[in-house]
Chain A
Amino acid sequence: MFKRITYCTMFLSLIVSCTSASGAEQIKLNVGTPYNYVHTTDGKQNVWIRVGLTGSKMESEKKRPPVNVAIVLDRSGSMKGEKIQKAKEAAIQAVDRLDPQDIVSIVTYDTNVSVLVPSTKATDKNAIKKKIAGIKASGNTALFAGVSKGAAEVRKFLDEERVNRIILLSDGLANLGPSSPGELGALGANLMKDRISVSTLGLGLGYNEDLMMKLAAKSGGNHVFIENADELADIFNKEFDDVMSVVAQNLKIKLKIPEGIRPIRVLGNDADINGQIIETRLAQVYSEQVRYVLVELEIPAGQKDQRLPLGTTSVSYRDMKTGDIKQQAKTDLSVKFVSGETADDLIKFSLKEHILEDIVAMVANERNKLATTYLDDGKIGLCIQTLDENKLWLENNSLKLKSKKLETYYKYNDAQLDQLKNNKKNLARKAMRAVQSQIDTQQRYQQSGNDK
């Protein structure tokens, strides 16, 4: 399977044009295949398509869309001491960044849930900060209820022209109310339907990374693993950077694939494959963010010099600058079958490095997820072997494509391997999950712990 992907990505070719219609667009849609050409074959072969969305640069933070944010803080017993102190400081500092048109609510939870500050315009920041400063830690972890209350607060002022966001901080396992990753994932998916994203900040080594990751991934929020409470302020800051730089929201990407070509899978985001139509939704694109999903297709055998259209791609989104719903489409994606002496060179020179780079990164990410599954099944040997192979493959590709990004991912893999070999399974697993979600969602900021 792995080999097959490599093979495909190496020998495909691409014809694509992706010029934006006007400079005022908040989103730039790029659709492409790594190669413009493919070999003629007797049977079927697979082709990858990369659907990329690039957020335009936000002109100034003064003109950013207003945010509607709920800060949901874990105040369970395990947060006692430095953790709660740092969390309070981080939250206070975050509140300071808000403008009067923004809406904020503060929810804390242990066994019970307290809506400390019901959603309100951030005009009287001192009152809000005073309430945050009074938080004390004790009790259990009613995480589901905490998020639910946060969602209820955000819903009070739910507005598609705002950036609706829940920022959840937890250091523990949810142990009161619904607590499985499945249930929290479902909650996340549902919140995304209402254009609410949940960013989950996992603090320390005690939290359930699957739960936190799923909640974030399914709702289109960020997920970070914070090893040290000292980083909290920085992470909160980065999260607010993100929240305040949303340029487009509620993106619906639709691919119409011609008959005869079979969609196989989509990487990078949950997608519905309804016959020849592939649909996927993204919560938002941030300023200057490059967001992409990969689609794997199975194309039929073709004649030499035949041009095979790969369908049309369209995206609709809410422009957060103007508040309007906008649409873009790309209709001219195709590959051409080649054979004979010049075929290999044609294919080789048609390579789009940045597309192959993204494909390698995401396929490697799938492999990293497989390694996590092995780890969960207790197959440590298999896990280490998979990571080893992945590391090698990333290293080769990073050299070949001169990719800084792949080099970073290679280093992550290496670090995770080290942690596993040093028997720091918990740490390794949390790091793996965090990186996996970051690659999947092209999250813009990461915990410092992984940079090494």
Chain B
Amino acid sequence: MKSKIIGLLLLVVVLPIALLSWVGYQLAQQIATQQQEQIQNLLKDQLAEVDFRLKKYFKAQETVLQQNAGQAFETLTALRDVVNSTGIIENIFIINADDTLAFPNPISPLNQREREFYSRIKVIIDGGDIQNLIRQTGGGATNPSTQNTTNLFAKPLIPNINLKSEGRGLDNNQSRLQKLQSLIPYSNNIDPSENQNARQSQSAKVAAPQYDFSSGWFTWYWGRGLNLIYWQRLTTGNIICVALDRSRWISDLIGELPDSIGYDLATAEEAEQRLSSRSRSARIINANGETVYQWGSDLDEESLVLAVEIPTSIPINAWKLQLWVPPTELQKPGIAGINVWLGILASAIALVSIAWIFVREYTKELKEASRRVSFVNQVSHELRTPLTNIRMYAELLSQEIGEVPGLESSKARQRLGVVESESERLSRLIANVLTFASSQKKTLKVRPLPGVVDDCIQSVTARFAPNLEKLDLKLEMELQAPQRVLFDSDAIEQVLENLIGNIEKYAAEGQLVHISSIQQEGLTVIRIRDGGRGIKSAHSEKIFEPFWRESNEVQKASGTGIGLSISRELCRLHGGDLTLDYTTSKTDRRQGACFRITLKTEGSN
């Protein structure tokens, strides 16, 4: 009983705590990821700011290049002057509207640098990569006479696409290129000589499709890595491609980026943020994963972890910006996570205290019950001594009355007999209470002796007869157990006395005590039925538990509360049982409770 309760309590306490912990863990996890994301977003913002500087740099270069190389060059000297005087320009090549290369022309006198440049760019021009890109980006002709061409490559599909020349489907490009060439009705071969401009304007007169000015970036890999070309399609259709000096723009980017002493971000006003950024290291990484430049923390590579990485903007979108931080910075214990655990702890404490209160109440009741038992026990002991005296003196009195002549069969003698038997019953009751209270541990014993069950019933009913009469209870008996069998008549008498006593106490209003007995083979069954309110079937077992009462009405609670419990035990010691019987009611008279005593009774000869 007690272990069951403890088990139940554990379940009630442990299960919700476990559940809460699980939910809490999930929640904390979620919060942690959220916080990590927040931190990462913050760091990403920092990188985005850096990226913005790079973007700004390339925007500025676009302006420079449009100013310096955004027009048709009148002479080769003019072109060379621009190349020589503009730091960012490594060299220039010009593509005609029909996709042929106008400059540098390998047949014309080129200097060493131009020849080297030509051999380098030849690949991307012959492959048609750059022409295709420019066409896709919106270099289409707007003249109605060349409608076919414009329809094919009308308006910008994607602005500023960046392509690597490596691994491009050259065959495909080639075929598109040829197709386009056949559609353009004129050829514009510019000889890059002093009279370039004159010839150009001449050929422009033949057929002058007007193009929208467009420009953009082209990237390709050569030599040490990424190379940048800024192209501008003039309205004449000529494309001026400026190859940027790789060393220069990398050097400029490094110049734009923070150094390690002045490492502060534009928005980092808070000293705290500046402090924490000291431990961070930012890097710009090229397409091969090599660090081009890094700034920030002096900490070793090993003591930092990669927190965020973003691609840099066009045109160097093959590169990446990285931010490395000390690992501790990413694993900040979340305050909200702590709250969750605190909540769980609080509810666990609440649950445990509720369980503790519950257990305390329960044990208090148990203690009270046992105190009642010990009280009954004490009282019973106290009662025994005077009772023994009463019995002794009653016996002495009956002897003395016997000696007095004329009084042998007088009423006085009869009444004395009642006193004697009642006090005997009382002492038995007390003995029972003591036995039960002393331990409950099967100290009850039965001593089966030969006897007749019906006789036993009759002697009990005879004793109760005056009382039943007084309470207006009608006694009906159907006794069919006349055989001489082995049983403890004292015990059975006690059971019967208890049951009839109960009827007197609780079901007197039914005005009926019906006792029947039957014997078959080695089994004797006694039924005792009353006409009272009966007992709910839900309580059919509980009434046999010690100290249990069906009703709390005080005036009726006059017993010790252990009678039925003892009775059932006595019957079970006979190999039988005492149960409530709901099935049998032969008569249709008022139905009360019906107790059924079964006894294993062997015959005795």
Check A186–B254 contact: CB distance below 8 A: no
Can you give 13 A-B contacts (C-beta < 8 A)? A111-B298, A114-B260, A115-B261, A139-B298, A148-B250, A151-B255, A152-B254, A152-B255, A177-B250, A178-B250, A183-B247, A186-B245, A190-B248
Check A149–B250 contact: CB distance below 8 A: no
Residues of B within 8 A of A139 (CB): 298
Check: B45 CB closer than 8 A to any chain A CB: no
Q: Which of A142, A189, A190, A273 interacts with B294 by CB under 8 Å?
A: A142
Check A272–B112 contact: CB distance below 8 A: yes
Q: Which of A114, A115, A177, A273 interacts with B293 by CB under 8 Å?
A: A177
Known: A116-B261, A272-B112. A187 touches B293 (CB 8 A): no
Check A112–B246 contact: CB distance below 8 A: no
Check A114–B259 contact: CB distance below 8 A: yes
Q: Which of B76, B251, B254 interacts with A190 by CB under 8 Å?
A: B251
CB B191 to nearest CB in A, in angstroms, measures 14
Check: A392 CB closer than 8 A to any chain B CB: no
Check B296–A112 contact: CB distance below 8 A: yes
19 additional contacts, CB 8 Å, given A139-B298, A152-B255, A178-B250?
A112-B281, A113-B259, A114-B260, A114-B261, A147-B251, A149-B254, A149-B255, A149-B259, A177-B254, A177-B291, A177-B292, A178-B247, A178-B292, A190-B247, A272-B80, A272-B111, A274-B76, A274-B80, A274-B111
Report how many residues on chain B are interfacial, defined by Cβ distance under 8 Å: 35
Check: B85 CB closer than 8 A to any chain A CB: yes
Residues of B within 8 A of A176 (CB): 291, 294
How many Å lie between the Cα of A116 and that of B262 in the bound state?
9
Q: Which of A55-76 contact B (CB under 8 A)?
A: none
Residues of B within 8 A of A138 (CB): 298
Residues of A within 8 A of B261 (CB): 114-116
How many Å lie between the Cα of A139 and that of B113 in the bound state?
37
Q: Which of A168-200 contact B (CB under 8 A)?
A: 176-178, 180, 182-184, 186-187, 189-190, 193-194
How many Å lie between the Cα of A184 and that of B246 in the bound state?
11
CB B123 to nearest CB in A, in angstroms, measures 19
Check: A337 CB closer than 8 A to any chain B CB: no
Q: Which of A118, A182, A193 interacts with B224 by CB under 8 Å?
A: A182
Known: A114-B259, A139-B298, A148-B255. A186 touches B84 (CB 8 A): no
Q: Secondary structure at chain A's binding surface: helix, strand, loop or mixed? A: mixed
Query: Shortest 3 CB-CB distances between A and B: which pairs?
Result: A152-B255, A148-B254, A112-B260
Q: Which of B211-262 contact A (CB under 8 A)?
A: 223-224, 245-248, 250-252, 254-256, 259-262
Contact with B along A86-108 (1 / 0, CB 8 A): 00000000000000000000010
- For chain A, the bracket of interface size reads 35 or more
Q: Which of B113, B251, B259, B294 interacts with A151 by CB under 8 Å?
A: B251
Residues of A within 8 A of B87 (CB): 190, 193-194
Contact with A along B390-429 (1 / 0, CB 8 A): 0000000000000000000000000000000000000000
Smallest CB-CB separation from A275: which chain B residue? Answer: B109
Known: A145-B254, A178-B224, A180-B224. A113 touches B247 (CB 8 A): no
Q: Which of A115, A118, A149, A193 interacts with B84 by CB under 8 Å?
A: A193
Check: A238 CB closer than 8 A to any chain B CB: no
Residues of B within 8 A of A348 (CB): none
Check B295–A112 contact: CB distance below 8 A: yes
How many Å lie between the Cα of A187 and that of B245 in the bound state?
9
Check B246–A183 contact: CB distance below 8 A: yes
Check: A410 CB closer than 8 A to any chain B CB: no
Contact with A along B281-298 (1 / 0, CB 8 A): 100000000011111101
CB A438 to nearest CB in B, in angstroms, measures 24
CB A153 to nearest CB in B, in angstroms, measures 8
How many Å lie between the Cα of A290 and that of B311 in the bound state?
51
Residues of A within 8 A of B294 (CB): 111-112, 142, 176
Check B260–A113 contact: CB distance below 8 A: yes
Known: A112-B260, A182-B223, A182-B224. A273 touches B295 (CB 8 A): no
Residues of B within 8 A of A152 (CB): 251-252, 254-256
Check B224–A183 contact: CB distance below 8 A: yes
Residues of A within 8 A of B113 (CB): 272
Smallest CB-CB separation from A152: which chain B residue? Answer: B255
Smallest CB-CB separation from B290: which chain A residue? Answer: A177
Smallest CB-CB separation from A186: which chain B residue? Answer: B247
How many Å lie between the Cα of A180 and that of B290 in the bound state?
14
How many Å lie between the Cα of A230 and that of B122 in the bound state?
51
Smallest CB-CB separation from A266: which chain B residue? Answer: B112
Smallest CB-CB separation from A147: which chain B residue? Answer: B251
Residues of A within 8 A of B80 (CB): 272, 274
CB B292 to nearest CB in A, in angstroms, measures 5
